Amino acid sequence: MPRFDGARSHLPDKTLQKLHRSPTLLYDGECGVCNAFVSFILKREKDHCLRFASLYSAIGKQLLAINDVAPDIESAVLIESDVVYIYSDAVLRTLTYLRGPWSLLGTALRAVPRPIRDAGYRTFAATRTRLSRSNYCRVVRPNEADRFLDLPD
Protein backbone atom coordinates (compact mmCIF):
# COMPACT_ATOMS: atom_id res chain seq x y z
CA MET A 1 0.00 0.00 0.00
CA PRO A 2 1.18 3.54 -0.64
CA ARG A 3 2.53 5.67 2.17
CA PHE A 4 1.28 9.12 3.05
CA ASP A 5 3.38 11.71 1.28
CA GLY A 6 2.85 15.39 0.65
CA ALA A 7 3.46 15.03 -3.08
CA ARG A 8 0.43 12.77 -3.54
CA SER A 9 -2.07 14.58 -1.39
CA HIS A 10 -3.62 17.90 -0.59
CA LEU A 11 -3.66 17.22 3.13
CA PRO A 12 -2.35 20.02 5.33
CA ASP A 13 1.16 19.44 6.73
CA LYS A 14 -0.24 19.42 10.27
CA THR A 15 -2.60 16.58 9.33
CA LEU A 16 0.16 14.62 7.61
CA GLN A 17 2.29 14.87 10.74
CA LYS A 18 -0.56 13.47 12.85
CA LEU A 19 -1.04 10.63 10.39
CA HIS A 20 2.59 9.58 10.51
CA ARG A 21 2.41 9.37 14.31
CA SER A 22 -0.93 7.69 14.78
CA PRO A 23 -3.28 5.13 13.29
CA THR A 24 -6.41 6.68 11.78
CA LEU A 25 -9.92 5.24 11.83
CA LEU A 26 -12.26 6.40 9.07
CA TYR A 27 -15.90 5.85 9.97
CA ASP A 28 -19.36 6.74 8.73
CA GLY A 29 -19.92 10.05 10.51
CA GLU A 30 -23.61 9.95 9.63
CA CYS A 31 -24.25 6.56 11.26
CA GLY A 32 -25.36 6.42 14.88
CA VAL A 33 -23.79 2.99 15.42
CA CYS A 34 -20.49 4.20 13.98
CA ASN A 35 -20.52 7.34 16.13
CA ALA A 36 -21.31 5.19 19.18
CA PHE A 37 -18.36 2.93 18.27
CA VAL A 38 -16.05 5.97 18.21
CA SER A 39 -17.36 7.02 21.64
CA PHE A 40 -16.81 3.45 22.87
CA ILE A 41 -13.21 3.57 21.62
CA LEU A 42 -12.49 6.95 23.19
CA LYS A 43 -13.63 5.71 26.63
CA ARG A 44 -11.57 2.49 26.51
CA GLU A 45 -8.48 3.27 24.49
CA LYS A 46 -5.13 2.33 26.10
CA ASP A 47 -2.76 4.93 24.74
CA HIS A 48 -5.09 7.53 23.22
CA CYS A 49 -3.19 7.34 19.94
CA LEU A 50 -6.00 6.75 17.43
CA ARG A 51 -7.11 9.58 15.18
CA PHE A 52 -10.56 9.75 13.58
CA ALA A 53 -12.19 11.18 10.47
CA SER A 54 -15.46 10.69 8.67
CA LEU A 55 -15.27 8.69 5.46
CA TYR A 56 -17.25 11.47 3.79
CA SER A 57 -15.07 14.38 4.89
CA ALA A 58 -12.54 15.92 2.52
CA ILE A 59 -9.70 14.40 4.56
CA GLY A 60 -11.44 11.01 4.65
CA LYS A 61 -11.88 11.00 0.88
CA GLN A 62 -8.24 12.00 0.36
CA LEU A 63 -7.02 9.25 2.70
CA LEU A 64 -9.08 6.69 0.81
CA ALA A 65 -7.64 7.89 -2.51
CA ILE A 66 -4.05 7.98 -1.24
CA ASN A 67 -4.42 4.39 -0.07
CA ASP A 68 -6.18 3.11 -3.21
CA VAL A 69 -9.42 2.35 -1.35
CA ALA A 70 -12.66 2.73 -3.31
CA PRO A 71 -14.34 6.03 -2.38
CA ASP A 72 -17.74 4.35 -1.99
CA ILE A 73 -16.57 1.67 0.44
CA GLU A 74 -19.20 0.65 3.00
CA SER A 75 -16.75 -0.10 5.80
CA ALA A 76 -14.78 1.32 8.63
CA VAL A 77 -11.20 1.79 7.44
CA LEU A 78 -8.20 1.69 9.76
CA ILE A 79 -4.95 3.10 8.37
CA GLU A 80 -1.68 2.32 10.14
CA SER A 81 1.26 3.89 8.29
CA ASP A 82 1.24 1.88 5.07
CA VAL A 83 -1.25 -0.84 6.09
CA VAL A 84 -4.98 -0.46 5.45
CA TYR A 85 -7.58 -2.61 7.23
CA ILE A 86 -11.18 -2.80 6.02
CA TYR A 87 -14.36 -4.63 7.02
CA SER A 88 -13.93 -6.99 9.99
CA ASP A 89 -10.15 -6.53 9.99
CA ALA A 90 -10.60 -2.80 10.67
CA VAL A 91 -12.88 -3.40 13.65
CA LEU A 92 -10.79 -6.21 15.14
CA ARG A 93 -7.53 -4.31 14.71
CA THR A 94 -9.15 -1.26 16.32
CA LEU A 95 -10.18 -3.38 19.32
CA THR A 96 -6.52 -4.21 19.95
CA TYR A 97 -6.00 -0.55 20.90
CA LEU A 98 -8.46 -0.87 23.78
CA ARG A 99 -7.98 -1.82 27.43
CA GLY A 100 -9.09 -4.99 29.12
CA PRO A 101 -10.89 -7.83 27.40
CA TRP A 102 -11.56 -5.82 24.25
CA SER A 103 -7.98 -6.14 23.05
CA LEU A 104 -8.04 -9.88 23.68
CA LEU A 105 -11.38 -10.18 21.90
CA GLY A 106 -9.99 -8.35 18.88
CA THR A 107 -7.06 -10.75 18.74
CA ALA A 108 -9.10 -13.90 19.41
CA LEU A 109 -11.74 -13.21 16.77
CA ARG A 110 -9.06 -13.09 14.10
CA ALA A 111 -9.07 -16.90 14.39
CA VAL A 112 -12.44 -16.86 12.61
CA PRO A 113 -11.82 -17.07 8.85
CA ARG A 114 -11.99 -13.66 7.18
CA PRO A 115 -14.76 -14.60 4.69
CA ILE A 116 -17.04 -15.53 7.60
CA ARG A 117 -16.11 -12.40 9.61
CA ASP A 118 -16.57 -10.14 6.60
CA ALA A 119 -19.94 -11.69 5.76
CA GLY A 120 -21.07 -10.93 9.32
CA TYR A 121 -19.67 -7.40 9.06
CA ARG A 122 -21.45 -6.71 5.78
CA THR A 123 -24.74 -8.10 7.11
CA PHE A 124 -24.50 -5.86 10.16
CA ALA A 125 -23.43 -2.86 8.05
CA ALA A 126 -26.47 -3.28 5.81
CA THR A 127 -28.84 -3.04 8.80
CA ARG A 128 -26.94 -0.62 11.08
CA THR A 129 -28.93 2.47 10.13
CA ARG A 130 -32.13 0.77 11.32
CA LEU A 131 -30.47 -0.02 14.67
CA SER A 132 -29.77 3.56 15.67
CA ARG A 133 -31.29 6.98 15.58
CA SER A 134 -30.66 8.36 12.11
CA ASN A 135 -30.09 11.87 13.45
CA TYR A 136 -27.41 10.87 15.98
CA CYS A 137 -24.39 13.11 15.72
CA ARG A 138 -21.42 12.71 18.04
CA VAL A 139 -20.40 15.93 19.76
CA VAL A 140 -16.63 16.16 20.04
CA ARG A 141 -15.45 17.32 23.45
CA PRO A 142 -12.74 20.01 23.58
CA ASN A 143 -10.21 17.52 25.02
CA GLU A 144 -10.85 15.19 22.05
CA ALA A 145 -10.68 17.77 19.26
CA ASP A 146 -7.06 17.10 18.28
CA ARG A 147 -7.97 13.44 17.71
CA PHE A 148 -10.44 14.30 14.91
CA LEU A 149 -8.73 15.18 11.65
CA ASP A 150 -11.81 16.55 9.93
CA LEU A 151 -12.58 19.30 12.43
CA PRO A 152 -11.72 22.89 11.52
CA ASP A 153 -8.74 24.30 13.42
pLDDT of residue 141: 78
Please tell me the total count of domains within the chain.
1
**What is the DSSP code (8-state) at residue 29?**
T
Banded model confidence at residue 7, pLDDT cuts 50, 70, 90 = very low
**What is the DSSP code (8-state) at residue 5?**
-
Please state the rounded mean pLDDT for residues 100-123: 95
On whether residue 1 sits in a domain, the answer given is no
Is 59:65 a contact under the CB 8 Å cutoff?
no
Q: Is the full-model pTM beyond 0.85?
A: no
CA distance 92 to 136: 24
pLDDT of residue 118: 96
pLDDT tens digits for 126-139? Answer: 887 666 555 556 67
On whether residue 153 sits in a domain, the answer given is no
Q: Cβ of 142: how many Cβ atoms within 10 Å? A: 6
Range of the domain at 78: 6-146
Nearest 5°: CA angle at 30, between 25 and 48? 30
> Comparing C-alpha atoms, which of 2, 50, 47 is closest to residue 27?
50
Is 9:67 a contact under the CB 8 Å cutoff?
no
pLDDT of residue 59 exceeding 80: yes
pLDDT of residue 86 exceeding 70: yes
CA distance 110 to 1: 21
Bridge partners (DSSP) of residue 98 are: 45
pLDDT of residue 132: 59
Bridge partners (DSSP) of residue 52 are: 25, 148
